[in-house]
Amino acid sequence: MSYPAELRYTPTHEWARSEGELIVVGITRFAVEQLTEPTFLELPAVGTTVEAGKPFGVIESVKSTSDLYAPLSGVVVERNAELLDDPATGRKANLALILEDPFGRGWLIKIRPAAGTTLDHLLTAEQYEAQLASAGH
């Protein structure tokens, strides 16, 4: 399996991508395959400060909850509205997007990184794939 080279990765299976001044965060295809069928998702409110390596959300699939870890420190400026219920309209969250397009429409949050923060500490696609291989995946 080939992972997009333009993204950077965490050992805990999140990805990060620069988008102007912001960083878009999601979970990798490997993580999605482990989840099989996401049923619930908890994301931090806009304005929440997240810390690199610390949990920022929770996802549930088939009775199993898993923490999601922030690839970098910063402030959440946007959540993927398609992944959340909208009480105003009654629209239900479409978690299938995470399965179908984990590197695209299945993104989770956008972060304004803390001053001086870069993505350099994260794994390249090549390093991430090597990690998966060494773990037998």
Partner 1 sequence: MSLRLRLLPYTVEGGPVQMAQDESLLEAAVQGQASLRFYQWSEPTLSLGYFQPVAMRQQLPAASTLPYVRRPTGGAAIVHHHELTYAFALPPRLAFRQTSWICLFHQLLAEVVAPVFAPGQLHLVACGQERKLGEILCFLHHSAGDLLLQDNKIAGSAQRKHRGALLQHGSILLRRSPYAPQLPGIFDLAGREFSTPTALAEQLARRFAQQLHAELYPDTWTTAEQQRIQQLLAEKYTQPAWNDKR
| Interacting residue ranges for partner 1, rule: CB under 8 A | 12, 39-40, 42, 58, 60-67, 69, 135-137
Beta strands in 2-135 (DSSP E): 8-9, 14-19, 22-27, 38-42, 49-50, 55-61, 64-69, 74-79, 109-113
Stretch (H or E) spanning 111: strand 109-113
Nearer to partner 1, 67 or 100 (CB): 67
Helix (H, G, I), strand (E, B) or coil at 93: coil
Nearer to partner 1, 21 or 63 (CB): 63
Question: What are the phi and psi torsion angles at 126 (to 5°)?
Answer: -65, -45
Q: How far is the CB of 74 from partner 1 (least distance, A)?
A: 21
Nearer to partner 1, 38 or 106 (CB): 38
Nearer to partner 1, 65 or 118 (CB): 65
Q: How far is the CB of 44 from partner 1 (least distance, A)?
A: 13
Q: How far is the CB of 112 from partner 1 (least distance, A)?
A: 26
Q: Quote the tokens at residue 52.
A: 């690199």
Q: How far is the CB of 89 from partner 1 (least distance, A)?
A: 20
